[in-house]
């Protein structure tokens, strides 16, 4: 196995790691139910995308039913 000839400086290590930081999640608002939704995805709560129903969401049954 080869061994590095020179020690990596902290600045070059930092430059390599500059893209490792976490980025903020961008959220948009669903126009139908006003919940936070990832952009370009269907709403998990109401099942709409671009004001059209894409996914049929089943309603939760309560214990009395």
Q: Whole-angstrom Cα distance, residue 63 to residue 2? A: 66
**53 has which bridge partners?**
48
Q: Whole-angstrom Cα distance, residue 46 to residue 8? A: 52
The predicted structure's pLDDT at residue 65 = 64
Q: Whole-angstrom Cα distance, residue 21 to residue 26? A: 15
Q: Tens of pLDDT along 4-58? A: 899 999 999 999 999 999 999 999 999 999 999 999 999 988 899 998 888 888 7
Q: Report yes or no on whether pTM surpasses 0.75.
A: no
Tell me the residue ranges of DSSP E strands in the chain: 28-29, 36-37, 48-49, 52-53
């Amino acid at each position: 196995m080869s061994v590095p000839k020179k020690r990596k400086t902290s600045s070059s290590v930092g430059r390599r790691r500059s893209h490792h930081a976490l980025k903020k999640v961008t959220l948009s608002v669903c126009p139908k139910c006003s919940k936070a939704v990832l952009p370009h995805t269907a709403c998990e709560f109401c099942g709409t995308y671009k004001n059209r129903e894409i996914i049929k969401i089943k309603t939760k049954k309560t214990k009395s039913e």
